[in-house]
C-alpha cells in the first residue's frame, strides 16, 4: 500500500491553521509558522500580551478600528525567535492570512525570504511593492479536499 504524504507547503500551512485555533481574538483567528530548512523554528497566533486581558474574555480594545491589545501571529513567531535565540534570516513564514503592512515590514527586517499564505486579507499595495522590491517571494497555499483526505483522523479519534 502506497501512503500519500502531504506536501511540505500543505504540512506547514496545516500547522499554522492549527495554531490559529489558540487565537484569543474575536475578530479573526490567525496562525503562523516560521520554517528554516524544512524545520519549524517558531509558531505564533494572534492574541494579547502574556498575562494581560484577552479579547475573548474582555472584548476587543479598539482604537481607530484596530484592536491595540492584539499582537499579530507573525509578530508572536518572530518574538519567540528573539526570546529563545533562533535566527530568522532566510526563514519562510506560513501564515493563514496575508500579513498586514506592519507585519510585512517586520518580516522583511527579520530576513524572511518567503511568505506563504492561505487567504488574502486586505493586502496592502505598499506591502506588495515592498516585497517585490526586496525580492521576497509570496506564495498562496491551497488546502483542498485531497489534502484533508490524507490526514488519518480516524487513527486518532476515540470512539
The catalytic site residues sit at: 74
Query: Which residues, at least 6 apart from 46, have a Cβ–Cβ distance to it below 8 Å?
Result: 23, 24, 25, 28, 29, 30, 70, 71, 72, 73, 76
Residue 51, phi-psi category: left (phi > 0), alpha (psi -120 to 50), beta (remainder): left
Distance (Å) of CA 62 to CA 26, 34, 69, 136, 153: 12, 28, 8, 32, 39
Contact between residue 22 and residue 45 where contact means Cβ atoms under 8 Å apart: yes
Query: Which residues, at least 6 apart from 4, have a Cβ–Cβ distance to it below 8 Å?
Result: 150
- Residue 143 φ/ψ, nearest 5 degrees: -115, 110
Amino acid at each position: 500500500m502506497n501512503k500519500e504524504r502531504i506536501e511540505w507547503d500543505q504540512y506547514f500551512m496545516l500547522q499554522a491553521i492549527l495554531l490559529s485555533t489558540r487565537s484569543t481574538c474575536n475578530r479573526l483567528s490567525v496562525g503562523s509558522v516560521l520554517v528554516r530548512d524544512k524545520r519549524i523554528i517558531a509558531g505564533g497566533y494572534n492574541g494579547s500580551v502574556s498575562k494581560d486581558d484577552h479579547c475573548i474574555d474582555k472584548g476587543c480594545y479598539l482604537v481607530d478600528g484596530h484592536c491595540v491589545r492584539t499582537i499579530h501571529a507573525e509578530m508572536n513567531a518572530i518574538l519567540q525567535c528573539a526570546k529563545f535565540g533562533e535566527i530568522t534570516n532566510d526563514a519562510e513564514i506560513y501564515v493563514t492570512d496575508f500579513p498586514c503592512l506592519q507585519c510585512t515590514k517586520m518580516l522583511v527586517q527579520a530576513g524572511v525570504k518567503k511568505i506563504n499564505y492561505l487567504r488574502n486579507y486586505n493586502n496592502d499595495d505598499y506591502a506588495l511593492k515592498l516585497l517585490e522590491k526586496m525580492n521576497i517571494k509570496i506564495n498562496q497555499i491551497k488546502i483542498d479536499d485531497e489534502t484533508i483526505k490524507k490526514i488519518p483522523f480516524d487513527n486518532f479519534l476515540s470512539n
